[in-house]
With several copies, the nearest count.
Chain A
Amino acid sequence: MSSPSAVRELTIAQAVYEGFAEELRRDERVFVIGEDVAEAGTPFKVLSGLVEEFGPQRIVDSPISEAGIAGLGVGAAMTGLRPVVDIMFGDFLTLVMDQLANQAAKSHYMSGGKLTVPLVLRTTLGATRRSAAQHSQSLQAWVAHVPGLKVVLPSTPYDAKGLLKSAIRDDNPVVFIEDKMDWRVTGPVPEGEYTVPLGVADVKRIGEDVTLVGTSSMVRVCLEAAELLAADGISAEVVDPRTLAPLDEDTLVRSAEKTGRAIVVDEGHRSYGVTAELASVIAERAFYHLDAPVRRLGALDVPVPFSPPLEDQTVPTAERVAEAARELCRRS
């Protein structure tokens, strides 16, 4: 038996797999449904092995019917099960928005609290995979805009496992979004049982001069930027909200008040995206502490191009974040 404190290095993919396996063992109401989730373990192989342990009744291969499986998930969740609906690419959220926004998110409220929808909709985000415009989007801003949905964006193996377990145990619909590019990223994960609560941001690096708020894939970009900045003698604090809804505004604002400067980085398109909300929360609440305007870096406002030299320009990089930070620190 392993002591709860024993820690291993796992990839995000392994951590996610453990989170699923533990919750499937813990609660027989939990099941997974999606395209090629069983034998194939999804095209990304992250779930490979689950069907062997839990069988095809609980790891269910579905037709290519995103709207249908989302709707089926809502009905199953209302009637005593805890479905995890797997939507391969975040780009296919386009097909489930009705079941997600008009049904899952609103049923509890519309029924005056009678119906509950403990559903997890698992999907992905991220570009630079050379997958072009319909397989590279980061659409978290859409779902974060819908009252009644919780939105989770893990950035480390530890958070991925702990947040997934909380999402599955939550009595509300939760959209859980993994970065397609970072499943191989490794990090420490304790042996024992733990969860990470939804709605609590995490300071990934402590600093004094500028706050870098990053989500999902952009947390790593911010940490790399912090390294570059350190070389220039600029001390950057990196804050990961971890969940967009509920949003831990206080931790973001406190950090910005401390440093007086903030940059917000998200891989979704910049306009009307997640960075707009985070930046305006900071700009409004930390107004009297800011030495410079809050800067936003998001994906370029263009469909994601296939051609590598074009695609590489669409996503924020550590160098661009660092440059923006240097610029801010020169100001005021």
Chain B
Amino acid sequence: MSTAAERRAAESGAGEAGAWLDMYRAMTTIRLFEEHVNDLYRGAKMPGLAHLYIGEEAVAVGVCSALRRDDYITSTHRGHGHCLAKGADVARMFAELLGKEAGYCKGKGGSMHIADHANGNLGANAIVGGSTGIATGAAFSAKQRGTDQVAVCFFGDGALGQGILYEVMNMASLWSLPVVYVCENNLYNEYTHYLEVTAGAILDRPRAFGIHAVEVDGQDVRAVHAAAEELVARARRGDGPSFLLCNTYRQHGHHVGDVDRAYYRSKAEEQEWQGARDPIALLGGWLVDQGVADAETLAALETAARDEIERGLEFALAAPFPEPGEVTDDVFA
């Protein structure tokens, strides 16, 4: 079975170049999706809150493009990017965010609980660190069942505070499980800088459990993808777990309602990451420099993504809510 990147490259016929263009498209889709989510919130069209992935697109896309459809991921409260990168459909995601029947979870999960089992997404999780055991168990299962599937566990720097992460890394190492722990260090646990709550050096933590650990620039999708390909291959061939530290940044607030951020981070910091360190701009610039694409090609990709998203949103807005009676369905299988 081929990875997303391989498949796309083949389809687009353009080999590696096609794969990079495809990642550009995927990152752009996430960006536009999240901007629309923000608008939905600001327009009071979406129930509850959402944690936007804007600025972190290179991590989900770089990692998931190294995965097969039957590989597993577990995600977080900031999960839209992971879900899309693993192959989810924009329309059904919007429908879920709006609590509609047509959503991935029939509206029962919402933003923090989207699961897309068909694409190996075992679910976003609203408990920080709550999916680390699930990803490790999926890897245990893959090994026990004799498949060569790999599980990727996405989590934020804040999850480094949860003891269960160390409990399961210990087991993953002991039993050489095919799991890749992907830490998205976007510098903040909600409103607190990670350095205020994180002692020592992050990479020393997985290493203390005998886990191979690597750090990459999470804004450079090519670097993330290269590292992910290596770590996923490692897991697939039975060489065990690994840890990928991706240094990144959320360009928006902790959630859509977090607009006054001056008390915990500076405008200057935000501007640097929104500008020079924007992952989509970085990839776009590289594609143009390399002559892989020109401005029009990229614009065309963006337009295509925008169309897809607007169609999806239209569908979701028009879609019906679940029947009241469904509230008692799905408690038990």
Contact = CB atoms under 8 A, between A and B. Distances in A.
Q: Do chains A and B touch in the complex (CB under 8 A)?
A: yes
Interface of A: 31, 35-36, 39-40, 43, 57, 61-65, 67-81, 83, 91-92, 94, 98-99, 102-103, 107-116, 118, 129-135, 147-148, 150, 171-172, 300-303, 305-310, 313-314
**Top-4 shortest CB links A-B:** A71-B133, A75-B137, A306-B110, A68-B167
Contacts of B138: 75-76, 78-79
Interface in B299-331: 321-322, 324, 326-331
Interface residues on B, range: 35 or more
A313 B134 contact: no
Contacts of B132: 71
B286 interface: no
Interface in B100-149: 100, 103-113, 115-117, 122-123, 125-142, 144-145
B127 A35 contact: no
A310 B322 contact: yes
Given A36-B191, A113-B329, A115-B117, A63 B171 contact: yes
B141 A102 contact: no
6 contacts: A67-B167, A75-B139, A110-B123, A112-B105, A129-B48, A306-B47
A247 B295 CA distance: 65
Contacts of B158: 63-64
Contacts, number: 270
Interface stretch (B12-20, B57-65, B81-89, B192-200): B192-200
B33 to A, nearest CB: 18
A40 B191 contact: yes
B327 A310 contact: yes
Nearest to B115: A111
A35 B171 CA distance: 13
B161 interface: yes
B117 A307 contact: no
A79 to B, nearest CB: 4
A98 B326 CA distance: 26
A99 B72 CA distance: 19
A114 to B, nearest CB: 5
Contacts of A118: 333
Interface in B184-231: 189-192, 196-198
Given A98-B164, A112-B109, 17 more contacts: A36-B191, A61-B192, A64-B158, A64-B189, A71-B164, A74-B137, A75-B136, A78-B134, A110-B115, A111-B104, A113-B333, A114-B105, A114-B116, A172-B333, A307-B110, A309-B99, A310-B99
Contacts of A306: 47-48, 99, 105, 107-111, 113
A303 B136 CA distance: 24
A307 B107 contact: yes
A152 B329 CA distance: 22
Contact of A109 (B104, B108, B144): B108
A310 B331 CA distance: 13
Nearest to A135: B126
B163 A131 contact: no
A300 B328 CA distance: 8
Given A73-B137, A78-B134, A113-B106, A313 B117 contact: no
Contacts of B137: 71-79, 83
A303 B331 contact: yes
A129 B106 CA distance: 18
Contacts of B330: 108-109, 112-113
Given A40-B191, A64-B162, A109 B331 contact: yes
Contact of B47 (A62, A64, A73, A308): A308
Nearest to B168: A68
Interface string B272-301: 000000000000000000000000000000
Contacts of A307: 47, 99-100, 106-108, 110, 321-322
A302 B197 contact: no
A105 B330 CA distance: 11
Contacts of B329: 113
Given A80-B141, A112-B104, A171-B333, A132 B161 contact: no
Contact of A134 (B47, B127, B151): B127
Given A111-B117, A112-B103, A65 B327 contact: no
Contacts of A150: 332
B122 A64 contact: no
A142 to B, nearest CB: 16
Contact of B112 (A35, A81, A135, A301): A135
A78 B122 contact: yes
Nearest to B197: A63
B117 A65 contact: no
A62 B321 contact: no
B174 interface: yes
Given A62-B197, A76-B137, A98-B127, A112 B171 contact: no
- Name, among A57, A112, A313, A314, the residue most crowded by chain B CB atoms within 10 Å (CB to CB): A112
